[in-house]
């Protein structure tokens, strides 16, 4: 057994059961005869940051458990000779949001942000507590309603702007509260 196949089997187990295997289950999964061999494999995977242990010593996903390979870049303009070489790994949860304890997601409804690349049914990842700057896409509570828009500041005037010309700018009549800043957009194609 090599590290790549061990990782593949652990990913498959996690996908099916939504947890990591016990050491006994890992022996069966890796076709190993002794728990000592499983402990050794776990130690290798912990050293590679693929697995970790919680306070009770139970195996949990490590920082690199949810990573995928980043193979390089691809042209979105004029076609070019493909370049594929393993460059690094991208850890999806850290790539999508830096401060997980301050993050939440919302499913988008409507078309007011389409020119920002945010479409109906996309998920937006929001980081609350992050200071909103002029031009940030924010979750705003304006005059007793929530919306997703650009935050605009001009002199002393603060307002919300859509990324679709068929929508007018929204100026608060009573109140405007920012509930977070969009840090990522997730779209599934299938």
Query: 109, 112, 152, 166: which one is catalytic?
Result: 112
Are 62 and 46 spatial neighbours (Cβ–Cβ below 8 Å)? yes
Q: Provide Rg for the chain, Cα atoms.
A: 23
**Which CATH architecture is the domain 100-186 placed in?**
Ribbon (2.10)
For residues 56 and 13, give the distance between their C-alpha atoms in angstroms, rounded to a whole number.
Answer: 21
- With a CB cutoff of 8 Å and minimum separation 6, the contacts of 69 are 86, 87, 88, 89, 90
Per-residue model confidence as pLDDT tens for the chain (190 residues): 788 888 889 989 988 888 999 888 998 999 988 889 889 989 999 999 889 998 888 889 988 888 776 666 666 666 666 555 555 667 766 667 777 668 888 999 999 999 999 999 999 988 988 899 999 999 999 999 999 999 999 998 999 999 999 999 999 999 999 999 999 998 988 7
Query: 36, 47, 94, 149: which one is catalytic?
Result: 149
7 annotated active-site: no
pTM comes to 0.67
Q: Given the DSSP bridges, would you call strands 137-142 and 145-154 parallel, antiparallel or unpaired?
A: antiparallel
149 annotated active-site: yes
Query: Which CATH number, 1.10.10, 1.10.8, 1.10.600, 1.10.238, labels domain 3-61?
Result: 1.10.10
């Amino acid at each position: 057994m090599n590290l790549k196949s061990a990782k593949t089997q652990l990913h498959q187990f996690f996908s099916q059961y939504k947890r990591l295997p016990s050491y006994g289950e890992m022996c069966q999964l890796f076709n190993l005869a002794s728990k000592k061999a499983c402990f050794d494999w776990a130690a290798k995977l912990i050293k590679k940051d693929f697995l970790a242990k919680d306070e009770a010593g139970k195996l949990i996903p490590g920082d690199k458990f949810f990573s995928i390979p980043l193979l390089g870049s691809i042209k979105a303009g004029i076609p070019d000779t493909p370049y594929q070489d393993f460059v690094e790994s991208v850890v999806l949860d850290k790539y999508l949001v830096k401060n997980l304890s301050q993050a939440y997601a919302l499913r988008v409804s409507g078309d007011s942000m389409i020119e920002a690349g945010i479409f109906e049914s996309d998920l937006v990842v929001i980081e609350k507590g992050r200071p909103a700057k002029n031009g940030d896409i924010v979750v705003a509570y304006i005059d007793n309603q929530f919306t997703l828009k650009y935050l605009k500041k001009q002199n002393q005037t603060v307002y919300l702007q859509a990324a679709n010309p068929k929508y007018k700018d929204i100026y608060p009549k009573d109140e405007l509260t920012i509930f977070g800043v969009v840090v990522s957009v997730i779209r599934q194609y299938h």
